[in-house]
Amino acid sequence: MTAASIAPVNKTSHIAIASFIGTAIEFYDFYVYAIAAALVIGPVFFPSASPTAQTLNAFATFGIAFLARPVGSFLFGHFGDRLGRKSTLVATLLTMGVCTTLIGLLPGYDHIGELAPWLLVILRIGQGLGLGGEWGGAALLATENAPKHRRGLFGMFPQLGPSIGFLVANGLFLLLGLLLSHEQFMAWGWRIPFLVSAVLVLIGLYARLKLTETPLFQAVAKQPRRVPLTELLSGHLKPLILGSLSIVVCYALFYISAVFVLSYGIGTLHLPKPTLQAWLMLAIVCMAVATVLSAWASDALGRRAVLVASAGAAVLWGFALAPLLGSATTTGVGIFLCGALFLMGMTYAPLGAMLPEIFPTTVRYTGSGAAYNLGGILGASLAPYVAQVLVAHGGLSWVGGYISVAAVISLLAVLGLGETRHRDLGQTKSISIS
């Protein structure tokens, strides 16, 4: 059965809202921690003997969640490919929301000592598991309900979620920073964004529970199938590896910008935090605009053409980091943030369609989610930590080189995958990769 012969059963508006709002909420939760890691996690949850050690420990807990994300993609991907996309997406949303809310309630090091960082690590692993299962399902929810010639546009909906999630997260931290004193923010104000997650999750659950299962999954649901992970590793290892490498540049661009640059600008350059956060919000708007443009272009010109051009531009932008941050001005830092996140949007949007397109229906949830999150380990898990080490030993140019190398890796992977926009999502056999 081909994709063209299977009629969508969900309204376009429902698909857009459910795939968008879920990723927006889950990435809001994840970004809340990313911002907190740069601003507050170190002093609250780790001993005060060394500020540098606090920063490195905070970034290390940030990275732990990325190690859990592939596990989450395999776990939830298994159920998503065996039981369905809808019920699995409800579970991922609940997992992330509960863990985020509990972080907001967790006592700090001054109250419970060494138990605080250990509990924080456990909850970060929970966040990673939830987000690991989220993206693959949201992308499939969009692309498996999309007309063949508009999969890039439909795949844009879950790709826009991170932009909005970060805007809300950063905006809330910015507002709290303006309304509260430093002492109030450090004592309890930072917890508010984490607790807001509980309300947002209820909204997301309402949107997702109104959906029906995707028609492509229904077509294979009763067919005899192997365990998805076994089938993936035995028959689809090449697209898994190349798909993972194709997204490395996205993660490197985003987390170097949102975590390292923010921390460096505030902690090392002593630039005003509200101003940098405002620049970061503008940069996220640039990312959202780029996401829309890139999704449209990927349907018109092809996924590979857009990704190759964007990754190539990212290689060059890595060289801009040292002079712009080295200027020690909010304008210089802001320009770098806007450029980096615009390119992040350009490289990110086509992947919402491309990663599902390289796997057959029977392993699509597991495969696309695993590729997405394995790329996160390479591109993001240690990015802020490595950037901190690189700037200490080699200077800002080394951090820029990190971005350029990540872009080259993704560029080569995209060339290896070839063009995917005309592939039939209804096929259940192995998809050849040129």
Give all domains of the chain, ordered by start, each with its CATH number.
Answer: 3-417 (1.20.1250.20)
Which of 90, 108, 130 lies closest to 40, judged by CA?
A: 108
DSSP state of 430: P
What single letter denotes the amino acid at residue 38? Answer: A
Element (H, E) at 131: helix 115-143
Q: What is the mean pLDDT of the chain?
A: 85
417 pLDDT above the threshold of 80: yes
CA distance 85 to 76: 9
Asked if 260 and 280 touch (Cβ cutoff 8 Å), the reply is no
Burial (CB count within 10 angstroms: exposed 0-12, middle 13-18, buried 19+), residue 178: exposed
Token pair belonging to 104: 């907001």
User: Of all residues in the chain, what percent carry a pLDDT higher than 70?
Assistant: 91
Mean pLDDT of 391-420: 92
Which of 74, 71, 70 lies closest to 366, judged by CA?
A: 74
pLDDT tens-digit map of 151-163: 888 888 888 888 8
CA distance 306 to 246: 12
What single letter denotes the amino acid at residue 102? Answer: L
Neighbours of 39 (CB within 10 A): 22
Which of 301, 334, 307 lies closest to 408, judged by CA?
A: 307
Which of 45, 131, 37, 121 lies closest to 387, judged by CA?
A: 37
The pLDDT-based confidence of 204 (bands split at 50, 70, 90) is confident
pLDDT tens-digit map of 175-189: 998 899 989 998 999
Mean pLDDT of 68-81: 84
Query: Given this model, what pLDDT does residue 135 score?
Result: 79
Asked if 165 and 120 touch (Cβ cutoff 8 Å), the reply is no
The pLDDT-based confidence of 2 (bands split at 50, 70, 90) is very low
318 pLDDT above the threshold of 50: yes
Token pair belonging to 178: 């303006």
Mean pLDDT of 376-389: 78
Q: What is the dihedral of CA 48, 50, 53, 57, to 10 degrees?
A: 0
Higher pLDDT pick, 235 / 95: 95
Which of 26, 150, 178 lies closest to 93, judged by CA?
A: 26
pLDDT tens-digit map of 122-143: 999 998 898 888 878 888 878 8
| Backbone dihedral angles phi then psi of residue 268, each to the nearest 5 degrees | -100, -45
179-183: long-range contacts at Cβ-Cβ below 8 A with a sequence spacing of 24 or more? none
282 pLDDT above the threshold of 90: yes
Element (H, E) at 91: helix 85-105
Which of 430, 432, 424, 421 lies closest to 154, judged by CA?
A: 421
| Backbone dihedral angles phi then psi of residue 350, each to the nearest 5 degrees | -65, -20
For 360-374, give the DSSP string: -GGGHHHHHHHHHHH
DSSP state of 74: H
Query: Given this model, what pLDDT does residue 57 score?
Result: 86
Burial (CB count within 10 angstroms: exposed 0-12, middle 13-18, buried 19+), residue 425: buried
Element (H, E) at 414: helix 396-417
Higher pLDDT pick, 115 / 79: 115
Quote the Cα angle for 242-340-121, to 5°: 70
